[in-house]
Chains A and B, each alone.
Chain A
Amino acid sequence: MFVGRETATAPLCGKSRHRKRAFFWLVSLLLASLVWFVSVRLSDRGDAALQRGLLGFGAAVSVLLQELFRFAYFKLLKKADEGLATISEDGRSPISLRQMAYVSGLSFGIISGVFSVINILADSIGPGTVGIHGDSPYYFITSAFLTMALVLLHTFWGVIFFDACEKRRYGCLGLVVASHLLTSGLTFLNPRYAASLGPIFIITLCTGLWAFVTAGGSFRSLLKCLSCKQEDDSRVMTYSALRVPCED
Chain B
Amino acid sequence: MITFMNNSDSEEEPCNERTSLMSAESPPVPSYQDGLQASQAGEVQAHRKRRTGSSRSPNNIADGETSDSSVPVREGALENEEEELTLKYGAKHVIMLFVPVTLCMIVVVATIKSVRFYTEKNGQLIYTPFTEDTPSVGQRLLNSVLNTIIMISVIVVMTVFLVLLYKYRCYKFIHGWLILSSLMLLFLFTYIYLGEVLKTYNVAMDYPTLILVIWNFGAVGMICIHWKGPLQLQQAYLIMISALMALVFIKYLPEWSAWVILGAISIYDLMAVLCPKGPLRMLVETAQERNEPIFPALIYSSAMIWTVGMAKPDTAARRSSQQAWDAAEDGRETDRSPSHTDSQMSERSPVPTRPITSFEELEEEERGVKLGLGDFIFYSVLVGKAAATASGDWNTTLACFVAILIGLCLTLLLLAVFKKALPALPISITFGLIFYFSTDNLVRPFMDTLASHQLYI
Q: Do A and B bind each other?
A: yes
Chain A interface (Cβ within 8 Å of chain B)? Answer: 1, 4-5, 7-9, 11-13, 15-16, 19-20, 22-23, 26, 29-30, 32-34, 36-37, 40, 52, 55, 58-59, 62-63, 66, 86-89, 111-112, 114-116, 118-120, 122, 139, 142-143, 146-147, 150, 183-184, 187-188, 190-191, 244-248
* Cα-based distance from A245 to B413 in the complex (angstroms): 34
B455 at the interface (CB under 8 A from A): yes
B406 at the interface (CB under 8 A from A): yes
- Contact check, A4 vs B32: say whether CB atoms are below 8 A apart: yes
* Cα-based distance from A135 to B395 in the complex (angstroms): 24
Closest to B397 in A: A118
List residues 61-120 of chain B with CB under 8 A from any CB of chain A.
Answer: 62-63, 80, 83-84, 87-88, 90-91, 94-95, 98
Number of interface residues of B (CB under 8 A): 59
Contact of B31 among A4, A36, A188 (CB under 8 A): A4
Closest to A61 in B: B457
Contact of A26 among B399, B413, B453 (CB under 8 A): B399
- Contact check, B394 vs A119: say whether CB atoms are below 8 A apart: yes
B238 to chain A, nearest CB (A): 21
Closest to A122 in B: B394
- Contact mask B11-30 → A, CB, 8 Å, 1/0? 00000000011111010010
- Contact check, A13 vs B457: say whether CB atoms are below 8 A apart: no
- Contact check, B406 vs A20: say whether CB atoms are below 8 A apart: yes
Contact of A13 among B21, B95, B395, B448 (CB under 8 A): B95
- Contact check, B358 vs A247: say whether CB atoms are below 8 A apart: yes
Closest to A113 in B: B456
The number of A-B residue pairs with CB atoms under 8 Å apart is 156
Which secondary structure dominates chain B's binding surface? helix
- Contact check, B438 vs A191: say whether CB atoms are below 8 A apart: no
B450 at the interface (CB under 8 A from A): yes
- Contact check, A111 vs B91: say whether CB atoms are below 8 A apart: no
B424 to chain A, nearest CB (A): 16
Question: Given A115-B395, A190-B455, are A29 and B443 also a contact pair (CB < 8 Å)?
Answer: yes
Closest to A248 in B: B62
* Cα-based distance from A37 to B20 in the complex (angstroms): 59
List residues 19-63 of chain B with CB under 8 A from any CB of chain A.
Answer: 20-24, 26, 29, 31-32, 35, 38-39, 62-63
Provide 25 A-B residue pairs closer than 8 Å at the C-beta atoms, listed in order of the A residue.
A1-B38, A5-B417, A12-B95, A12-B409, A16-B94, A20-B409, A23-B403, A26-B402, A33-B443, A34-B442, A55-B450, A87-B83, A89-B26, A118-B395, A120-B451, A146-B456, A184-B455, A184-B456, A184-B457, A187-B455, A244-B358, A245-B357, A247-B62, A247-B357, A248-B62
User: Besides the contacts A13-B95, A19-B405, A30-B435, what 9 more A-B pairs have beta carbons closer than 8 Å?
Assistant: A8-B87, A8-B91, A11-B91, A12-B94, A23-B406, A55-B449, A118-B394, A119-B447, A184-B455
* Cα-based distance from A122 to B457 in the complex (angstroms): 20
Closest to A149 in B: B456
Contacts of B88 in A (CB 8 A): 11
Contacts of A40 in B (CB 8 A): 445
In the complex, which of the residues B84, B90, B455 has the most CB atoms of chain A within 10 Å of its own CB atom? B455
* Cα-based distance from A184 to B453 in the complex (angstroms): 12
B426 to chain A, nearest CB (A): 17
B160 at the interface (CB under 8 A from A): no
Contact of A190 among B358, B416, B454 (CB under 8 A): B454
- Contact check, A30 vs B443: say whether CB atoms are below 8 A apart: yes
B211 to chain A, nearest CB (A): 34
B305 at the interface (CB under 8 A from A): no
List residues 394-444 of chain B with CB under 8 A from any CB of chain A.
Answer: 394-395, 398-399, 402-403, 405-406, 409, 413, 416-417, 435, 438-439, 441-443
- Contact check, B32 vs A87: say whether CB atoms are below 8 A apart: yes
B356 at the interface (CB under 8 A from A): yes
Question: Given A114-B398, A190-B454, A247-B62, are A87 and B87 also a contact pair (CB < 8 Å)?
Answer: yes
Closest to B438 in A: A30
Contacts of B457 in A (CB 8 A): 29, 32, 59, 62-63, 66, 112, 184
- Contact check, A9 vs B435: say whether CB atoms are below 8 A apart: no
B72 to chain A, nearest CB (A): 19
- Contact check, A150 vs B409: say whether CB atoms are below 8 A apart: no
* Cα-based distance from A244 to B19 in the complex (angstroms): 10
Closest to A200 in B: B456
* Cα-based distance from A111 to B406 in the complex (angstroms): 14
